[in-house]
Structures are given as C-alpha cells and as structure tokens.
Amino acid sequence: MLTDKTILLIIGGGIAAFRSLDLMRRLRDRGAHVTPVLTHAAEEFVTPLSVSALAASKVYRDLFDLTDEAEMGHIELSRAADLVLVCPATANLMARMAGGLADDLATTLLLATDTPVMIVPAMNVRMWEHPATQRNLATLRADGIAVVGPVDGAMACGEFGPGRLSDVPDIVSAVEAHFVEGPLSGKHVLVTSGPTHEPIDPVRYIANRSSGAQGTAIATALRDLGARVTFVTGPADVPPPAGVDVVRVQTAQQMLDATLAALPADVAVMAAAVADWRVENASGSKMKKDASGAAPVLSFAENPDILKTVAQGTTRPRLVVGFAAETDDVTAHATAKRGRKGCDWIVANDVSPATGIMGGSENSVTLITDAGAEDWPRLSKAETARRLAVRIAEALR
C-alpha cells in the first residue's frame, strides 16, 4: 500500500523519539521512502547516524545548511513528499505549528508545504490536558492536519493517562489509511461513541453500560473506506481507532460542544449512549453520610438532545444516523424516535440483559429508514459496522 510513497518524517524532541526508529523500519518494509528531519531537541534522544541507517536516507537537520540547500532547497523538500508525518509531535512543536512559527528547519518545512500533514502527539498527561495544548490541537485540526492518538498508558515520568505515543503498528495503519482511495475518500464523517459520565460529586457519577465498542468499530470501518473521521468519544472501555481525529469528552454537554465544533460534515453517525439526565444539584465536594441515615436527594435536569440538535441544525450533514437502544417494542420505539429527532436513519437494537449486546462483542440491529425496517442478523460489532459503512457509502453516491 505504501510502495513508492515518500514520507517526510519530522522527529520531535521527546522520549518517544526512539520509537520513530521502529516506525521508519516498518514504513520501509511496506515500500515507503522515508526522508527524516531531526529537530535539535530530537538529537538528545536519537542520533543522526541511527536515523540515517534505518531510513536509508540522508538526515536533514539545519535550516541554513549550504550543502543541503544546494542539493535540495527546504521548500522543495517540503513539497516532494506524499505525506509529512510528525512523530513524536511534542507540546512545543504543536504550539509552534499552531502559531505558524518557522524558526528551524522542521517548522519551516511545515509552514511551506502544501502536502498533507499528520501528527502523532506524545507528552506528559498534564501537558496534553493543558488548555493551551488543547487550543493548539483544535487549531491544527481546523487547519486540516490529521491527528493520531495519543493513547492512555504509563509514561517515562511515572504518570499514567492520555499522552502516550500510539503504538507503532497503529501509526503505520493510520499512514496506510491515509492513502486508501475508498468510496468515502474526500468525505468527512462525524462519529459519536461511548457513554457519558454525569457527575454527582467529584468522585461519583451517573453512567450506563455502553463500552463504546460499536462506535469504535463504526469509526474504523468508515476510516477504512477512505473517510476522514472525527471521533467524539465518552469514557469508553475500548481504545479509539488509529487514523481518526479523536476528541475525548466526559459529559453530554461536552459531547454536544465537541460535536458542533466538528461540523460541517457529510455524515453524522450518533452512536454514543448519551445520558438523558444530569444531576442538577451536583456537589462540589464529596457527599458524606451523617448520623441521620438519610440519603441525599438528587435533583435531575434533562441533558441536551445531541441527535436532534444535529439533525435539525443549520449545519445539518447530508446524512444523519441515530441509534436507539431499547429493551421492549424496539422497532416501534425506534421508528417514533426517528420521527421526533428528524434524523434520516435509526439503528435500533435490543439491549435487554439477556441479549448480552450492551458491553458485548456482537450486535443484532434493525435499520430504520424511509423504506421501512430492515432486520440484520446477529453479527460481530465489526461486521455490523462494516455493513453500515457500506450502506453509508452507497447513500452518498
């Protein structure tokens, strides 16, 4: 899939830089030509000699190198690739990209290129979650830059959480997916997934049993058909797929905000199991038992209706797909929901405990459209997602 593709690999200065060595080897195994660029900070973690050996290519390091400029000017270097891949993308490098700085070879190449750019962030969890980094990330996404990861995991600093570099095979898969010319190439698809957590106090919350597995499978299937996928996910049990733009949220309000920020899109697949209500009188400190034995009284308020907001909004996607998880009269309730929300399709399923569907690996759905209700057989969630993705592609022809 990567035969004769040229990838300009910019290696940022973080501890994850050592994994770029394995990345280069795997990219070359798949037929790609890799042209490496080292930032000065990256040279603290990997040497130009090791990078050159694994890339089988000259390493570019300095903006004002007369020899390099004579052989290939930095403008030409930035445009000769089929993809510019930044791995790892540190907080500092992302900030400089978002600000449009060009103070070294790497950032000058990124500012001068008209080639697609993909970044693979890696940094300390606090740095990743900092509002400044999230603002920069939003800017880069708005500029059309693809983002792979990061993932949750243990870090060199001893902390655990989001910020760890995606696994190298997942990065390679994302690069391969970038070059896929599928029926959804050039289309932007928004997918929501997972549960939402509505706080009761700082340590307790209301949630549901959704694992996020079906939404993740749908995002993967749409990606594999060539779509650019924005994946808005609540705190799911399964990790998000590689090669999609991941936006993590906790509450329904946060999911609504992230969903609206991701529009416009050609398709919206609203697979998240959003909590219908939130605790209106959530406590800012942990609720404690007292000697009276009385339980606290929780007051509930209705959460925003994300599906209805998208389906009836001014930036409505061409195709809006909702989901209905029911325990009785599945088709009747889902058909009524489709009418109330104003979406084009509803994917309905029976999540009664006996089915094992919610949190399980299989699904049995009914697709409800203008043409009526179509029962699908019980399938793996991956196969259900593949069938849905194919139907979406057919609908956009």
Read off the pLDDT of residues 186-199 as tens digits, 9 standing for 90 and up.
899 999 999 999 99
Amino acid, res. 393: A
Angle between helices 91-99 and 131-142 (to 10 degrees): 50
User: What is residue 342's three-state secondary structure?
Assistant: coil
**Residue range(s) occupied by CATH 3.40.50.1950 in the chain:** 1-179
d(CA 248, CA 245): 10
In CATH terms, the superfamily for domain 183-397 is CoaB-like (3.40.50.10300)
Residue 278's pLDDT is: 94
Instruction: Give the strand pairing for 83-89 and 117-121.
Output: parallel
308 annotated ligand-binding residue: no
- Tokens 């080292």 belong to 38
- The answer, yes or no, to whether residue 117 has pLDDT greater than 90, is yes
**How confident is residue 357, by pLDDT bands cut at 50, 70 and 90?**
low
Topology of domain 1-179 in CATH is Rossmann fold (3.40.50)
Rg (CA), the chain: 23
Tokens representing 155 are 């870090």
- Are 162 and 250 within 8 A, CB to CB? no
pLDDT of residue 309 exceeding 90 = yes
Q: How far apart are CA 304 and CA 307, in angstroms?
A: 9
Residue with tokens 């510019």: 84
Q: Do 234 and 252 meet the contact criterion of CB atoms below 8 Å apart?
A: no
Q: CATH 3.40.50.10300 region(s) of the chain? A: 183-397
Q: How far from 160 is each of 45, 237, 251, CA to CA, in Å?
A: 21, 16, 22
**Residue 343 bears catalytic tag:** no
266 labelled binding-site residue: no
Find out whether 306 is annotated in a ligand binding site.
yes
Which pTM was predicted?
0.68
Is 21 strand, coil or helix? Answer: helix
In Å, how far from its chain's centre is CA 353? 30
Spatial distance between the Cα atoms of 299 and 314, rounded to a whole number of angstroms:
33
Residue 296 has pLDDT above 90, yes or no: no
DSSP state of 44: G
Q: pLDDT tier at 46 (50, 70, 90 boundaries)?
A: very high
- Is 22 labeled as ligand-binding? no
Of 176-180, 340-344, 355-359, 369-373, the poorest mean pLDDT is in 355-359
* Contact (Cβ atoms closer than 8 angstroms) between residue 122 and residue 16: yes
Q: Is 337 annotated as a binding residue?
A: yes
Q: Which residues contact 78 (CB under 8 A, 6 or more apart)?
A: 8, 84, 108, 109, 110, 112, 113, 115
Residue 22 pLDDT exceeds 70? yes
> Which residue is catalytic, options 75, 156, 157, 336?
157
Query: Is 305 assigned a ligand-binding role in the annotation?
Result: yes
